Structure 1
Amino acid sequence: MPVKTWDIWVRFTHWSIAGIVAWNLFGPTDQAHRVLGYVAAGLVASRIVWGFIGTTNARFAAWWPGRSHLTAYIRSLAAGEPQQHLSHNPLGGLMALTLWLLILALAVSGWLMRVNAFWGEDWPQDLHTCLSTALQVCVCAHILAAIVMSVWTRENLIGAMLTGFKRDLGDQDTSR
């Protein structure tokens, strides 16, 4: 029986940010690139707020990747029996936080490139380029992990982020 996992705001911010990131990574670096970068940062900020006040599975309390949760999850992977989570698993949560931090840092570095105080300086552009490369690597890892874990656990994680529903885990849910 399907269980509502991801609310509309989680799914909207996820797919909107994904689309903006794809556009900004592969599209032209023009005014739209800058505006969309700031929109992405605003969506990340709103998602962070939602992590405190949102629905149960959207809240950080449901999926914060603490050391003990990460260790237990990695051990379950090594044993070939990954723990099931209704919300993000600990590595997925860690990836979400990493992606959000990179997007926010990209917005700041992009803004710094336009500040008069740094006119003629190369480091803001170099930082922006390094952050962009890191984001590309993390996005690829995120997509690959979603596919691999969907196949391994027989749980359509990408479908869940589209529909908002996951299968009921019953007593298998190892989240908090």
Structure 2
Amino acid sequence: MTRVWDPLVRALHWTLLGAITIAWTSTLHMGVPGSWHETAGFVAMACVALRLLWGFVGPRHARFASFIRGTRSTWSYASQVVRGQAPRHIGHNPLGAWMVLSLLLTVASLTFVGWLQTTDRYWGSETLEVVHTTLAWALLPLIGLHVVGVLLTSVHQRENLVHSMIHGRKRPPAEGDID
């Protein structure tokens, strides 16, 4: 097995999932205290900040430069996915890379707006409340697309990507795979 996802990437991924889950459930009156919402938001904000930093200084597969591709190669990859001919990527594939950025940007915006609402200047701002709620609802379909993408890629590549995000390893590159 080849080590792909380092411990920090995996810890931030699962911690962010937990923080988002707590933030959502604290707004749905499901027994989670509402006071946990703000704490979960700060945890999510810290996860995003660390992941952004790690995207520039972390190991190879964590670095944005190793997996962010331009629009042309991303569209080419998307058409290969539709045809069932997408190559296996050891790290993030081009669609997954853009999903990572979309999720990080949305969570960063959501937590920043949430934080602004805790300041004296913006406390009680109805406009920021609408922006915060809109971003929260926009996050749900992104998470859904992320999960569907992981599941479809797992099936297509015959590789459990969820399991890989737990232990950090994937099978070694084969001919035609993109490292």
TM-score (norm 1): 0.92
Q: Determine the structure 2 residue equivalent to 1:167.
A: 171
Deviations 1:110-129 (A, max 9, x none): 12223333344311111110
Q: Determine the structure 2 residue equivalent to 1:51.
A: 55
In structure 2, distance between residues paired with 1:121 and 1:166: 47
Deviations 1:59-118 (A, max 9, x none): 112111321320221121122111210100111111111111111111111122233333
Unaligned runs of 5+ in 1: none
Q: Determine the structure 2 residue equivalent to 1:151.
A: 155
Unaligned runs of 5+ in 2: 28-32
Q: Determine the structure 2 residue equivalent to 1:10.
A: 9
Alpha-carbon distance, 1:170 to partner? 2.5
Once the two structures are superposed, the pairs formed by residues 26-41 of structure 1 within 5 Å of their partners are 26-28=25-27, 30-41=34-45
TM-score (norm 2): 0.90
Contact persistence 1:56–1:62 (CA under 8 A): yes
Contact persistence 2:45–2:108 (CA under 8 A): yes
In structure 2, distance between residues paired with 1:164 and 1:101: 24
Indicate the SS of the match to 1:84: coil
Name the amino acid aligned to 1:13: L
RMSD, aligned CA: 1.5
Q: Determine the structure 1 residue equivalent to 2:141.
A: 137
Q: Determine the structure 1 residue equivalent to 2:30.
A: none
State the aligned residue count: 174
Is 1:107 the counterpart of 2:124? The answer is: no
Q: Determine the structure 2 residue equivalent to 1:25.
A: 24
Deviations 1:28-53 (A, max 9, x none): 47332112211211111111111111
Alpha-carbon distance, 1:10 to partner? 0.6
Alpha-carbon distance, 1:169 to partner? 2.1
Name the amino acid aligned to 2:23: N
Contact persistence 2:26–2:36 (CA under 8 A): no
Identity %: 33
Name the amino acid aligned to 1:105: S
Which of 70-79 and 111-120 deviates more? Answer: 111-120
Higher relative contact order (CA 8 A, sep 6+): 1
Once the two structures are superposed, the pairs formed by residues 24-103 of structure 1 within 5 Å of their partners are 24-28=23-27, 30-103=34-107
Q: CA 1:119 to 1:39, structure 2 compared with 1: closer, same or farther past 3 Å? A: closer
